[in-house]
Amino acid sequence: MQERFYPVTEPHLDEQDRRHLMDAFDSGWISSQGAYLEAFEELFAVFTGSRFALATCNGTTALHMALLALGTKPGDQVLVPTFTYVATANAVTYCGAEPVLVDCEEDTWNMDPARAEAALTDRTVGIIPVHLYGHPCDMDPLRDLAERHGLWILEDAAEAHGARYRDRNVGTLGDVAAFSLFGNKVITTGEGGIVTTDDERLAERMRRIRGQGMDPKRRYWFPEVGYNYRMTNLAAALGVSQLKKIDRLIAAHRQVAHWYLQELAEVPGLVMPVEREDVHSVFWLFSLRLRAAEDRPELRDELMWRLLEDGIDTRPFFHPMHTMPVYDQDGDFRVADRIARSGLSLPSSPRLDHDDVRHIAGRLIHHAEALGALPRPAGL
Residues with a catalytic annotation lie at: 185
Q: Is the pLDDT of residue 275 over 90?
A: yes
Picking from 214, 243, 272, the residue at the C-terminal end of a domain is: 243
Residues 276 and 235 reside in one and the same domain: no
Residues 120 and 255 reside in one and the same domain: no
Residues 304 and 221 reside in one and the same domain: no
Residue 331 identity (one-letter amino acid): G
pLDDT confidence of residue 40: 98
Q: Is the pLDDT of residue 278 over 90?
A: yes
Measure the CA–CA gap between 138 and 123, rounded to whole angstroms: 23
CATH of the domain at 134: 3.40.640.10
pLDDT, mean of residues 335-341: 97
pLDDT confidence of residue 31: 93
CATH of the domain at 272: 3.90.1150.10
pLDDT, tens only, 352-363: 999 999 999 999
Residues 121 and 146 reside in one and the same domain: yes
204 in a structural domain: yes
pLDDT, mean of residues 26-43: 96
| Residue 358 φ/ψ region, left for φ over 0, alpha for ψ in the -120 to 50 degree band, beta for the rest | alpha
Q: Residue 340 — very low, low, confident or very high, per pLDDT cuts 50/70/90? A: very high
Q: Is the pLDDT of residue 368 over 80?
A: yes
Residues 236 and 284 reside in one and the same domain: no
Beta-bridge partner residues of 104: 111
Q: Residue 230 — very low, low, confident or very high, per pLDDT cuts 50/70/90? A: very high
Q: Is the pLDDT of residue 288 over 80?
A: yes
Residues 336 and 356 reside in one and the same domain: yes
Measure the CA–CA gap between 341 and 70, rounded to whole angstroms: 35
pLDDT, mean of residues 188-216: 96
Element (H, E) at 101: strand 98-102
Measure the CA–CA gap between 305 and 307, rounded to whole angstroms: 5
Residues 234 and 255 reside in one and the same domain: no
380 in a structural domain: no
Asked which of 116-120, 205-209, 216-220, 333-337 is least confident by mean pLDDT, the reply is 216-220
366 in a structural domain: yes
290 contacts 270 by C-beta, under 8 angstroms: yes
pLDDT confidence of residue 377: 61
* Total number of domains in the chain: 2
With pLDDT > 70 as the criterion, what percentage of the chain qualifies? 98
pLDDT confidence of residue 2: 59
Long-range contacts of 26-33, Cβ-Cβ distance < 8 Å, separation of 24 or more: 27/233, 29/233, 30/232, 30/233, 30/234, 31/232, 31/233, 32/230, 32/231, 32/232, 32/233, 33/233
pLDDT confidence of residue 217: 86
107 contacts 118 by C-beta, under 8 angstroms: no
**Nearest Cα residue to 103 out of 372, 321, 378:** 321
51 in a structural domain: yes
Q: Which residues contact 42 (CB under 8 A, 6 or more apart)?
A: 53
pLDDT, mean of residues 124-149: 98
Q: Is the pLDDT of residue 47 over 50?
A: yes
User: What is the domain range of residue 145?
Assistant: 15-243
Q: Give the three-state DSSP class for 250.
A: helix
Residues 212 and 280 reside in one and the same domain: no
Measure the CA–CA gap between 75 and 87, rounded to whole angstroms: 19
**Helices 35-48 + 233-243 axis angle, to 10:** 40
pLDDT, mean of residues 335-344: 98
pLDDT, mean of residues 306-331: 96
Q: Residue 380 — very low, low, confident or very high, per pLDDT cuts 50/70/90? A: very low
pTM: 0.96
* Average pLDDT of every residue of the chain: 96
pLDDT, tens only, 100-132: 999 999 999 999 999 999 999 999 999 999 999
pLDDT confidence of residue 241: 98
Where are the alpha helices (H) located in the chain, listed in sequence order?
Answer: 15-27, 35-48, 59-69, 87-94, 113-118, 139-149, 200-210, 233-243, 246-264, 297-309, 334-342, 354-370
Q: Is the pLDDT of residue 379 over 90?
A: no
Picking from 187, 210, 243, the residue at the C-terminal end of a domain is: 243
320 contacts 340 by C-beta, under 8 angstroms: yes
